[in-house]
Amino acid sequence: MSRILNLALFLVASVITAVYIRSFLLEANLNGTTIIPLGFASLNFQYTTNIGINFGLAGEASKSRQTLLAGISVLLCLIVITWGLRSSQKLMPMAAGLLAGGGLANAYERLAFGGVFDYFNLSIRAFPNPFSFNLADIYIFIGVILFIFARTENPNLADEEKAHGAGRFLLKLFYNLSLTVALLISCLYISWHILSYANFFFGNIYDRNNLEEHVNQFAPQNRNKEDFASTSRSERVKIFAEISDAINSGGNGLDEISYSQNSTGKIEKFLVKAELNHLQDVANLVARLKPIGAAIATVLMLFYIFCWHYMFTKQKYFWRPSGLISSAFQIILLTTAVVGLIAIIGPQKTFYQLHEWAFTEKAQWFFYYQDSLMTTLMPEIVFADIAVLLGTVTIAIWFFIISILRRYLI
């Protein structure tokens, strides 16, 4: 009985406080106020409405999408509550109450307001953080921490049968390899959304590769556009952000991207027709790939939930995740293979070959600096840095998920 009361207390308290603070902050209008200045970092109020999940993943403002996300959130919260009540660990009712309370508060906001109101922003001076979070997210985070660091239960599960024969071995190998590839795709899907929301840290890429000098050298040579060399760094970073947003929105807004000529004050469209056509092809490609990534990530998450449920109800394993050493070996092997292949082919040739495969029989994709401000602002080194960022974040997410799986599915 005390476990039920403990869970209910944290659940109700987290929901009420998370929902109440929305109206208080909107009424107080504290947007832009610094809460805690630390010099090298600061905690600020930064109001945003998140129509996706964390980091804006799967974002869409439609009522049906918000209802779907709220429904999934409620379902997961019910699973968490059931787990919290069944677990014998002392901290689990508190963890489940905070996790479910934060999730239900966010689900309520989706249904009532069409999105989740985020307002806290923690930024470091060198790396401004584009993401905001709310009190419900803090409850979820604390619940996850309690979940991770609580002493694990040992149900003394029966070990799985050992495979016999070459056929069983190959089948098991293929089965595990498929799960590994699915997890990799899911992590890549998540990292794409996170980095897209963070504008791929283009400001840092711009400074690190001295793109200021590159743009100032080649922009005056452009045969179609004038005065781009006089634009500021902030305007160039904004243009990249607008291109990124448009590509993630099916190409909507590409034709609206423009800059101001400092000499005349005239508003000039940034992209020419050929560039518009190419970026629309890129947007179409992203639009086809994102649902695949979302479907694989969803199926994989449901598979992990099923494995966890099976383990505690049947008292035996349906599937056991690879160890951290084995996972690290897989990552090292895969990374070495990819880097080695790129080194053999050549980075530039690899970049061109990928474009050939993706955009054969589509619009022009190769542009000279004299004809394209897009190429001037985004030379090949930009995409190399973005690829490294995607790979790094993907691997970090991979190891985080493997660590969680190893702790609670082993």
Can you say whether the dihedral through the CA atoms of 177, 182, 187, 191 is positive or negative? positive
Enumerate the β-bridge partners of residue 44: 34, 121
Place of tokens 């054969």: 360
pLDDT on residue 159:
46
Give me the catalytic one of 118, 281, 371, 385. 118
The Cα-based distances of 63 to 22, 59, 279 in angstroms read 20, 11, 29
Enumerate the β-bridge partners of residue 122: 43
Instruction: Encode pLDDT of 34-48 as tens digits.
Output: 888 877 788 888 888
Q: Active-site residue 281, yes or no?
A: no
Q: Where are the domains of the chain?
A: 2-153, 175-410
pLDDT on residue 163:
45
Can you say whether the dihedral through the CA atoms of 158, 161, 162, 168 is positive or negative? negative
Strand ranges, E, within 103-151: 116-124
pLDDT on residue 162:
47
Distance CA 327, CA 333 (A): 10
Q: Are 292 and 298 in contact (CB under 8 A)?
A: no
347, two tokens: 């980075």
283, two tokens: 């947007």
Enumerate the β-bridge partners of residue 34: 44
In this prediction the pTM is 0.66
CA-nearest of 253, 187, 248, 282 to 60 is 248
In the three-class reduction of DSSP (H, G, I as helix; E, B as strand; rest coil), residue 267 is classed as strand
Q: Are 378 and 240 in contact (CB under 8 A)?
A: yes
Q: Are 401 and 324 in contact (CB under 8 A)?
A: no
Q: Active-site residue 137, yes or no?
A: yes
CA-nearest of 106, 108, 102 to 138 is 102
Distance CA 9, CA 84 (A): 13
Q: Calculate the average pLDDT of the chain.
A: 83
> 388 — phi, psi (to 5°)?
-65, -40
Write out residues in the chain with pLDDT < 70, as ranges: 1, 52-62, 126-128, 149-170, 173, 263, 323-324, 410
Q: Are 392 and 308 in contact (CB under 8 A)?
A: no
